[in-house]
Amino acid sequence: MVLLLVLLAIFAPLLAPYPPDQIGVASRLAVPGPGHWLGTDEFGRDILSRIMYGSRLTLYVGLVAVGIGLTCGISIGAIAAYAGRWLGGLLMRAIDLLYTFPDVLIALGLVAFLGPSLTNAMIAVGISVVPYYARVTYAIVLAERQKTYVEAAQVVGAGHARIIVRHLLPNVVPPMIVVASLGFSAAVLSAAALSFLGLGAQPPAAEWGLMLATGRNYIERAPWVVIAPGMAIFIAVMAFNILGDGIRDLLDPRQVERTF
């Protein structure tokens, strides 16, 4: 399902029946049917094509936002858990403070500060999820650190850097990938929300949240203008959640031996 989405994004220019910005005055708010499978919007742009192009933005936004969140989150969480004592405590208290605010609120504040644009929205969403990733990483690293193999590595003579990079990270990253793929959908949703509020992508970009926002004026006359991007967001979020579950099952090399 995600693969389909990715393929769609990559080959959008080939698959889309129309360019996303092609305005057709004659066919404004056309009813879905042959010619325009999902109808057209207020400027007569083909909604199917815009959804297809929108998938590129969506994936891009998700990727960048999760990338930022994951990188910063893993670093902060891992350092906090490994360092322990006061540095770890300090970092985690700071993270806890951020964690008390809803993600979207942080993102909103950041965008207000940076100015509305898609790039800033991505950065904002990315930063807003850092506390989440940091917390999860912290918990995982803390649990892994307790395991004897860390001590065993120390005994063999491995230094801190080696223990973190060679021993801890390989055990921390896979579960984090699962967390990230689940977080991807949240990031997509946040970015769409920001765009919806006019703080993210700016018209005439083909972004799902934005399409939803501009389309809502016509909701009574042409509900398909809203339904299509709404469904697209829903499907994308679902797809990534399912992917996350799949990866979780796949990534565990310890195919749990069942011993009775």
Partner 1 sequence: MDAALPVSSDAALTLSVRGLSVSFRDGGAQVPALEDVSFDLHAGEVLALVGESGSGKSLTALAIMGLLPGGARVDRGTVLLESCDLVSLGPREMTCIRGDRMSMIFQEPMTSLNPVLTIGRQLTEGLEIHLGIAVATASARAVELLRLVGIPSPERRMREYPHQLSGGMRQRVMIAMAIACDPKLIIADEPTTALDVSIQAQIIAVLAEIRARLGTAILLITHDLGVVAEMADRVAVLYSGRVVEVAEAEALFDAPRHPYTQGLLSAMPRLDWLAAEGPRTRLAEIAGVVPSLRDRPDGCSFWPRCPLATEQCRREVPPLISTSDGRVAACWVRQVAA
Partner 2 sequence: MTTATTAIAPPLLALTGVRKEYVPRRGLFGGAAEPVRAVDGVSLSVDRGETLGLVGESGCGKSTLARIILRLVAPSAGTLRLDGQDVTRLSRARARAYRRRVQMIFQDPYSSLNPRMRIDTLLREPLLIHGLARGGAIEAEVERLLSQVGLATDALSRYPHEFSGGQRQRLAIARAIAVSPEVMVADEPVSALDVSIRAQVLNLLADLQQARSLAYLFISHDIAVVAYLSHRIAVMYQGVIVETGPAREVLRHPQHPYTEILLAAVPVPHPRLRNQAVRHPTGETSVPHGAPSGCRYVARCPIMQRRCQVEPPELHALADGHFVACHLR
**Chain residues that interact with partner 1, rule: CB under 8 A:** 257-260
In the complex with partner 2, the residue whose CB is nearer, 7 or 143, is 143
Minimum CB separation from partner 2 for residue 177, in Å? 13
Minimum CB separation from partner 2 for residue 141, in Å? 14
CB 10 within 8 A of CB 40: no
Q: Which does 155 bind (CB under 5 to 8 A by kind): partner 1, partner 2, none?
A: partner 2
Site string for partner 2, 96-135 (x = CB under 8 A): ----------------------------------------
CB 42 within 8 A of CB 216: no
Q: Which does 152 bind (CB under 5 to 8 A by kind): partner 2, partner 1, none?
A: partner 2
By CB under 8 A, name the binding residues for partner 2: 147-149, 151-159, 162, 166-167, 170-171, 174, 253-255, 257
